[in-house]
Amino acid sequence: MVLSQRKMLHLFFYGVAIWFIWFAQTTLDEYSIRILNNIAIFMILAVSYNLINGVTGQLSLEPNGFVAIGAYVAAIILLDADTMLYQYYIEDPSPVVLAIHSQSFILALLAGGIVSAFVALMLSFPVFRVRGDYLAIVTLGFGFIIRILAINNPHITNGSLGLNDIPEYSNLYWTGGLAIVAVTVILNIIYSKYGRAMKAVRDDEDTAIAMGVNTFKIKTLAFCTSAFMEGVGGGLLACLLTSISPDLFTFFLTFQLLIIIVLGGLGSTTGAIIGSILVIGGAEWMRFLDEPMALFGFETPAMPGMRMVIFSVILILVMLFAREGIMGKKELLERFWKKKKEDS
């Protein structure tokens, strides 16, 4: 009985999500669609970042690196030779970069994801030799290295000028659809032996080993899955913005994702979804705070940046009153079922 109820609830959530994507893409104005696109992409990035950072508990600070890899790979594949020759001022593009070309969006996204995952695999051998704070520092360094490589290899990436005129393939069907796929995949991982092992690694790595869990393999799986999705998200971002440059992929991007998953609750996928809606959507919604306002009869002048002040205050309040974020470590439905079990 409970299982079928649960399945119905899942179907209901999927139905609402798909209906909303269709509704938004057909009726809303361009500005709203743009924000929803942003939210969907950040949702993909946040749930995948949450897998390594929240669920597996490995504090890593590299997603900006993987997003950059995904974005550049997708952009280089989608740009044709003529557009590239026209854009590359600093150095001529390398023949390999010119030769790789396809108009298939899905192929470009997959390539971005696969290259990211491959880099993550290479990185996991040195990275998972260290734990805790050291891991954060090593991965932070990786994020910087990717950005510096992008700036200093103009024959591949066009240096700090970045790439322009990337075809605008991203729309809500793509971003929203892939967000649904990403969330489903992540939840399927979490509710399997792999997800259990990841949580065990987070709670107590030595004990997990004592239970026969190959913790290196588990951490590498989480890291590569997360990198793959961040790469795909990067490709979507490149095709939404149509122009990318190394400045887009600074540590600030990682920081934004970190805020999202900590606000939503480290280790909770539904928390990451709620977090991306609140942080990305809320930041847009609060734009009115920057404008002149009439408050209790007083006229206040325009204060650019006011919304960030308010936003930070809200963030502090949330962290004061909900230490583990909005959702804690639990998923939305887990809370619901637990309550039900206690009632009966």
Nearer to other proteins, 189 or 278 (CB): 189
Nearer to other proteins, 287 or 338 (CB): 338
Largest CA-CA distance found in the chain, in angstroms, rounded: 70
Distance from the first to the final alpha carbon of the chain = 14
Nearer to other proteins, 3 or 99 (CB): 3
Least distance from C-beta 55 to other proteins, angstroms? 10
What is each CA distance from 27 to 72, 88, 191, in whole angstroms?
32, 39, 36
Nearer to other proteins, 127 or 221 (CB): 221
246 secondary structure, DSSP code: G
- β-partners of residue 163 are 244
| Nearest to 241, CA basis, from 165, 137, 152 | 165
The DSSP H or E segment spanning 261 is: helix 251-264
Question: How many Cα atoms are found within 13 Å in the side-chain-facing hemisphere of 163?
Answer: 34
Nearer to other proteins, 34 or 329 (CB): 329
Amino acid at 158: N
CA 118, 122, 128: angle at the middle one, nearest 5?
Answer: 125
Q: Rounded CA gap, 268 and 331, in Å?
A: 5
Least distance from C-beta 339 to other proteins, angstroms? 13
Least distance from C-beta 211 to other proteins, angstroms? 5
Q: Is the Cβ–Cβ distance between 75 and 198 less than 8 Å?
A: no
Would you give the distance in Å from CA 218 to the centre of its chain?
20
Least distance from C-beta 53 to other proteins, angstroms? 15
| Nearest to 75, CA basis, from 250, 242, 247 | 242
Least distance from C-beta 170 to other proteins, angstroms? 24
Nearer to other proteins, 10 or 287 (CB): 10
Least distance from C-beta 197 to other proteins, angstroms? 5
Least distance from C-beta 244 to other proteins, angstroms? 29
Nearer to other proteins, 99 or 210 (CB): 210
Residues at the site binding other proteins, with contacts judged by CB under 8 A: 185, 188-189, 192-194, 196-197, 199-200, 202-204, 206-215, 221, 267, 329, 341
Q: Compute how many other C-beta atoms are within 10 angstroms of the C-beta atom of residue 124.
A: 19
Least distance from C-beta 268 to other proteins, angstroms? 11
Nearer to other proteins, 101 or 329 (CB): 329
Amino acid at 233: G
